[in-house]
A and B are shown apart, each in its own frame.
Chain A
Amino acid sequence: MTTLCIVGGSLAGLSTARALRNQGYDGRLVLVGEEHHRPYDRPPLSKAFLAGKLDVADLSLECEDEDLGLDWRLGVRAIGLDSTSRAVLLDSGESVHADGLVIATGSTARTLAAGHGLDGLHVLRTLDDALSLRDDLTGRPSLVVVGGGFIGSEIASTARALGLEVTLVSGGREPLRAQLGSFASVVSDLHADHGVRVISDAMVNGFTGAGRVDGVVLDDGRRLQADRVVLGIGAVPNTDFLLGSDVEVDDGVVCGMNGSTSVPGVVAVGDCAAWFDPVVGHYSRVEHWTGARERAAIAATTLLSGGTAPLPRLRAPYFWSDLYDVRLQFAGHPELADSVTLESGSIDDRSFLAVYRREGVAVAALAMNHTKPFTAIRRTLVSGHEAATRSMQGASA
């Protein structure tokens, strides 16, 4: 192979470039990125960066003396793929012919058609989104955050610390219910303690305001006054450019356990990729930072070996969040569990470790301000998943 092309200039793309070089690939390596920025770290965008504690330079993912010998194409978008000749068509009119391709295009924040064109209405996905939102939160405007996931709760927490009056609208019974189960009530209590008003079981019907948003209309007819609105309602994988190619796409690029796609010589990694997860037995997009970083090395190996390399053990999925003064960590597959126990600490103190088990073996763990015991249990989760997979296969046999 003399030319490889990575489409996507964020964590997954950069990590794959690093892995390809580490694994000995010394040919031409083209990296296409839709954003103008060099690779940067996204998790702080809703936290320390939004709070003004970090600046743009702090977010850089590259080391100062790092030279991966990349042929950078930033600010250009992939708009098509000829899977027979493995050529990526760019919106600059150029096309990049490569012997191997890495699809790492990430995802785009979901929006609501009703709000298109209104000033003061934001999403938060990119650095430009974060810069625009950060600017727009000066002067302490009232803020409505729409979304029951982590982005929504993180933005509410950060904005509250900046002194804004914040309302959080959640589609479910309470924020983070889908992610944390019954432990979501701890986060609801945190929001209440810090004076964030939470409105649950609510859907957004539309917005009010002429030119600039001044309110959010809920499906029960209620109107919430808002100087600014942020939507944190999920993200859709950036796979449109693959339409008409032979690369199979469902909710994300469909990939095997090693990142291989339906087209030889093409791998996919990061938020845009749905790898087969043998633990749960289906394809799923793992939209977490650590997934993008750890899987990049596997995708690189797959590309360089033509898919013949043995599979390494994948670590359990892991994510973290910082809400107010609470550090939250979650790892594993809670859907496998038949029991959850509070292992140490106290929920009232917001300092605890909860362990999810299946037939007595740990399969997932949740911690708040309990980092050390969490790390200890996290190390055991992979073998827990292997045991769980065996037990499920045994049950269905």
Chain B
Amino acid sequence: MIAVCTLSELPPGEAHRLDVNPPITVFHTEEGEIYAIDDTCTHQDASLADGWLEGCEVECPLHASRFNLRTGRVDAPPAKLPVRTHEVHVIEDTIYVQVSEATPNLPPGAMAGQLGGES
């Protein structure tokens, strides 16, 4: 498991990006839920941590595909593939992420670039 930050460092409505490979973002929704998904949009290299968080969904800041934080599913083009979701644990005020062992759906540009590297 990776220690992300403390609860007080991630207020509702905020996102925290983990610089792992590929990057993962932890979202704290306005409703108080905490979710972790792959940070990179499956359509093109964009960080979902910079996106528009609304309810249990985050909208890609570039081309407006929306990903469900709970399931990783995408509901609008141009993205066609889901992002991975990761298990979140909160232990004594610290947020931890258990990284999924599934294969990430990285965008075509990022596959050839720095993201697809040694992970």
Chain A contact residues, CB within 8 Å of chain B: 11, 15, 41, 43, 48, 53-54, 58, 60-64, 289-290, 293-294, 318, 320, 327, 329, 371-372, 374-375, 378-379
Contacts and interface: CB of A to CB of B under 8 A. Distances in A.
B78 A375 contact: no
Nearest to B107: A58
A371 B47 contact: yes
B62 A371 contact: yes
Contact of A54 (B77, B80, B108): B108
Contacts of A63: 80
Interface in B52-71: 52, 61-64
Contacts of A289: 63
A294 B108 CA distance: 25
Contact of A58 (B49, B77, B108): B108
Contact of A375 (B51, B63, B76, B80): B51
A374 B50 CA distance: 9
Contacts of A293: 64, 76-77
Instruction: Say which size band chain B's interface belongs to.
Output: 10 to 19
Contacts, number: 48
B62 A320 contact: yes
Contact of B78 (A61, A371, A378): A61
Contact of B109 (A41, A54, A62, A375): A54
Interface of B: 44, 46-47, 49-52, 61-64, 76-78, 80, 108-109, 112
A378 B108 CA distance: 27
B49 to A, nearest CB: 7
B52 A375 contact: yes
Given A41-B77, A54-B108, A372-B50, 5 more contacts: A53-B109, A290-B63, A371-B50, A372-B49, A379-B52
Contact of A372 (B61, B63, B112): B61
A346 B76 CA distance: 33
Nearest to A14: B77
